[in-house]
């Protein structure tokens, strides 16, 4: 069961304002301000705004955390508060933390490399390794809240958060925990991060029109927009949640993972891994394809990726495709890489709670090869019993989840 939600992302630094922004079709993408991006082919991104970690958990702790860990801890604080989970009365060995990240502490890595080159090895920070390691965010949350249950990190590129959530659910079903803080975080808007994605020709170059640069399924899409932030949820065992009168958003009923085994960056053009992940998730949920009402698509806004996913969805859902609503969170916040699945899970959970599907923005000219109802521009009110979310990553990693109304 999902009993708590927390996020910081380019739209807002809390769940309520994020949901309002998503439903209103707002864009959080703009010119990069964290460093001089003028030498780069791409100069836009989905940056966090007005994020003040010193105010959230003190300057001393903030200095010891990389930006991605700060995001994760901030989102976890909101999720735990939202769940009303009284940790002091819980068995700490039954509450764990499982987070995903695709890259980890990249900002720390770059800053300390520069320091080494300019000032030598004696000036390297003793916090270099703890700040840059991919499990740094997981450890920070565990230490901050005194959680001693199953605690580890998952790194499967842009599928990381969804894989982490799937693992959290499996641990609870296996009886090895009562609650898991899970999701994902990323902070890859750095010179090296931006430069790497530019070199791979993955990013949109609409520098003069940042708010319309992320355009999933649009015929004129030219790459994804890099975003940053975190999406964290509390996953809880049903009886444990029921006994304490928890506010249950929905249930994670199905998980499916599969590999393309095709290429390090390009998706299988036939969507083989995506098809298998979706089918496994639906079967695991005990649902039929015609019981899925909504898909929060991976839909990064790349030519190959969007088309492969659209074709995979059509193959999985067949004639039900005409009754299936799809929308793309990344059209508004960009691609949070290892954190994207956490925010997508929050959006899907809120769709079930409110009976509303947020729109896909910026798709002004739907690719004629995409045969999906992408919920263009305007939110739609429909009853959502079962929602699927897709997350696919470099390396051919595919992860799909099914969330269901209880």
pLDDT digits (tens, 9 = 90+) for 196-245: 999 999 999 999 999 999 999 999 999 999 999 999 999 999 999 999 99
Predicted confidence at residue 271, as pLDDT, reads: 86
Predicted confidence at residue 393, as pLDDT, reads: 92
Predicted confidence at residue 396, as pLDDT, reads: 87
Residue 264 pLDDT > 90 = no
> Is residue 193 within 8 Å of residue 274, measured between CB atoms?
no
- Domain residue spans of the chain: 2-243, 254-404
Which residues face 185 on adjacent strands? 230
Summarised one tens digit per residue, pLDDT across range 123-144 is: 999 999 999 999 999 999 999 9
Which secondary-structure segment (H or E) carries 241? Answer: helix 238-243
Summarised one tens digit per residue, pLDDT across range 142-191 is: 999 999 999 999 999 999 999 999 999 999 999 999 999 999 999 999 99
Q: Average of pLDDT values for 327-341?
A: 98
pTM tops 0.75? yes
Sequential DSSP letters for 117-143: HHH-GGGS-TTHHHHHSTTHHHHHHHH
Residue 270 pLDDT > 90 = no
Confidence of residue 268 (pLDDT cuts 50, 70, 90): confident
Predicted confidence at residue 19, as pLDDT, reads: 98
Confidence of residue 265 (pLDDT cuts 50, 70, 90): confident
The residues annotated as belonging to the active site are: 158
Phi, psi at residue 303, to the nearest 5°?
A: -65, -50
Confidence of residue 43 (pLDDT cuts 50, 70, 90): very high
Summarised one tens digit per residue, pLDDT across range 72-125 is: 999 999 999 999 999 999 999 999 999 999 999 999 999 999 999 999 998 999
254-404 matches 2-243 in CATH topology: yes
Predicted confidence at residue 312, as pLDDT, reads: 97
User: To which CATH superfamily is domain 2-243 assigned?
Assistant: Thiolase/Chalcone synthase (3.40.47.10)
Dig out the tokens for 385 from the structure: 């019993």
Dig out the tokens for 246 from the structure: 């928890």
The CATH number of 254-404 is 3.40.47.10
Which residues face 393 on adjacent strands? 397
Confidence of residue 267 (pLDDT cuts 50, 70, 90): confident
Summarised one tens digit per residue, pLDDT across range 3-17 is: 999 999 999 999 999
């Amino acid at each position: 069961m999902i009993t708590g939600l927390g996020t910081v992302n380019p739209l807002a630094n809390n769940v309520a304002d994020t949901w309002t922004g998503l439903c209103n079709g707002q864009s959080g993408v703009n010119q990069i301000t964290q460093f001089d991006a003028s030498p780069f082919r791409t100069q836009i991104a989905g940056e966090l705004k007005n994020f003040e970690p010193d105010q959230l958990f003190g300057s001393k702790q903030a200095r010891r955390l990389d930006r991605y860990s700060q995001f994760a801890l901030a989102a976890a604080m909101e999720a735990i508060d939202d769940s009303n989970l009284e940790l002091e009365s819980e068995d700490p060995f039954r509450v764990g933390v499982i987070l995903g990240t695709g890259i980890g502490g990249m900002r720390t890595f770059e800053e300390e490399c520069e320091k080494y080159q300019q000032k030598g090895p004696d000036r390297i920070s003793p916090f270099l390794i703890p700040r840059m390691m991919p499990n740094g965010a997981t450890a920070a949350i565990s230490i901050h809240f005194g959680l001693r249950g199953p605690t580890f990190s998952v790194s499967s590129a842009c599928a990381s958060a969804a894989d982490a959530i799937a693992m959290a659910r499996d641990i609870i079903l296996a009886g090895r925990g009562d609650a898991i803080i899970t999701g994902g975080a990323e902070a890859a808007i750095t010179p090296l991060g931006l430069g790497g994605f530019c070199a791979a020709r993955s990013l949109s170059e609409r520098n003069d029109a940042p708010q319309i640069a992320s355009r999933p399924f649009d015929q004129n899409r030219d790459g994804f927009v890099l975003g940053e932030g975190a999406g964290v949820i509390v996953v809880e065992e049903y009886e444990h949640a029921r006994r304490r009168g928890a506010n249950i958003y929905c249930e994670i009923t199905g998980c499916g993972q599969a590999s393309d085994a095709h290429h390090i960056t390009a998706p299988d053009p036939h969507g083989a891994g995506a098809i298998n992940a979706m089918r496994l998730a639906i079967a695991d949920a005990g649902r039929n394809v015609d019981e899925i009402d909504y898909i929060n698509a991976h839909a990064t806004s790349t030519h190959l990726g969007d088309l492969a996913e659209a074709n995979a969805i059509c193959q999985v859902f067949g004639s039900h495709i005409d009754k299936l609503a799809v929308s793309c969170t990344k059209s508004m916040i960009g691609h949070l890489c290892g954190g994207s699945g956490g925010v997508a899970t929050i959006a899907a959970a809120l769709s079930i709670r409110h009976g509303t599907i947020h729109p896909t923005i910026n798709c002004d000219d739907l690719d004629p090869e995409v045969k999906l109802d992408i919920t263009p521009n305007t939110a739609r009110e429909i009853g959502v019993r079962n929602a699927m979310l897709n997350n696919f990553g470099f390396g051919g990693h595919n992860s799909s989840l099914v969330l269901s109304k209880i």
